[in-house]
Structure 1
């Protein structure tokens, strides 16, 4: 099914993942936050084989195990596509967000959730990086600020729409910056270090 991905694919559909999470009984983690967590772990240098990935995600969502085949396939696709986008030289990272038919507040909230997910995912593996550059440290601080502000935003208008797009673009580039610093060119670096506790 995924053989035909010579180019970098699209992320799974937001609503499809949301419905799959509900079917699994997950009510505490939204799709954007989950994608942020995964992106944060990848940015910190974590890599997972499929079984480890599903176990790690189940833990993040306070589940003993993932039951549905559908959710497993979506999560594997989410992981592979996100890693490919982060590694691309074309800055093609997308953030998993509700589409434009959703209210601006919902999208702002999802962006805040993505940022806090990224920070907690990165935090799980941050100890691998004894010293981060000042630029990356400031970027992580900015993401924490955005997570706060987005959670408190309630207004909706054209100007806010443009502002949200600007912040989205900043967050996207911020994630790429962190990834680039913490993942030097993959020459002979060990790609598979599941790092479980």
Structure 2
């Protein structure tokens, strides 16, 4: 895929949420978005409806707001389907405290798992053991302690957990979309 859509960053979306009167973190909806795109190929209009429901509004305030929300969806889909496997969950960055970043990761995980739970057991039947294990691990992450003190060890742990979430998301997408993204020959995406 050559022309990837640039996803809005966490702060841009958090500001957009505030503009719509919501203090909710974009991380939760990004987790939902990722799982929906992997399982159902979520159409643009359904995504706007999901975001509006999440924000407690009927529709975005402006065309620009709607375009930003749709760019978020398109950019996430592009990142999941890209052969570079560079998808990143939308989380608070280094400008936020470690506790805020941990809470963002927890919220992302809760949104992701909520969609998987709503999908029931049918999609799980075709999953590889590696994917099942990765998803099962996310349940523990959703219950993790988020009041982390600033320390290099906690920073490293949070990085490792974020990487686990990222890999689980990409594994779900690749298993639900065999052949997409095109990865190096000889690398199996199914087991």
Superposed pair shares fold, TM > 0.5: yes
Q: Could you tell me how far apart the structure 1 residues matched to 2:125 and 2:80 are?
A: 21
Q: 1:90 aligns with which of 79, 84, 100?
A: 84
TM-score, normalization by structure 2: 0.83
- Counterpart in the other structure of 1:20: 16
**Is the 8 Å Cα contact of residues 15 and 98 (structure 1) preserved in structure 2?**
yes
**Mapped pair 1:176 → 2:170:** yes
Higher RCO (Cα < 8 Å, 6 or more apart):
1
Runs of 4+ in 1 over 6 A off after TM superposition: none
Structure 1 residues 107 and 130 mapped into 2: Cα distance closer, same or farther (>3 Å)? Answer: closer
Q: 1:55 aligns with which of 49, 59, 84?
A: 49
- Counterpart in the other structure of 1:33: 28
**Is the 8 Å Cα contact of residues 124 and 132 (structure 2) preserved in structure 1?**
no
Secondary structure class of the residue paired with 1:44: helix
- Counterpart in the other structure of 2:106: 112
Q: Could you tell me how far apart the structure 1 residues matched to 2:31 and 2:148 are?
A: 22
1:75 Cα shift?
A: 1.1
Q: Could you tell me how far apart the structure 2 residues matched to 1:76 and 1:172 are?
A: 21
TM-score, normalization by structure 1: 0.81
Tell me which moved more, 90-99 or 117-126: 117-126
How many pairs are equivalent? 179
**Is the 8 Å Cα contact of residues 43 and 183 (structure 1) preserved in structure 2?**
yes
Q: Structure 1: where are the runs of 5+ without partners?
A: 187-197
Q: Structure 2: where are the runs of 5+ without partners?
A: 181-191
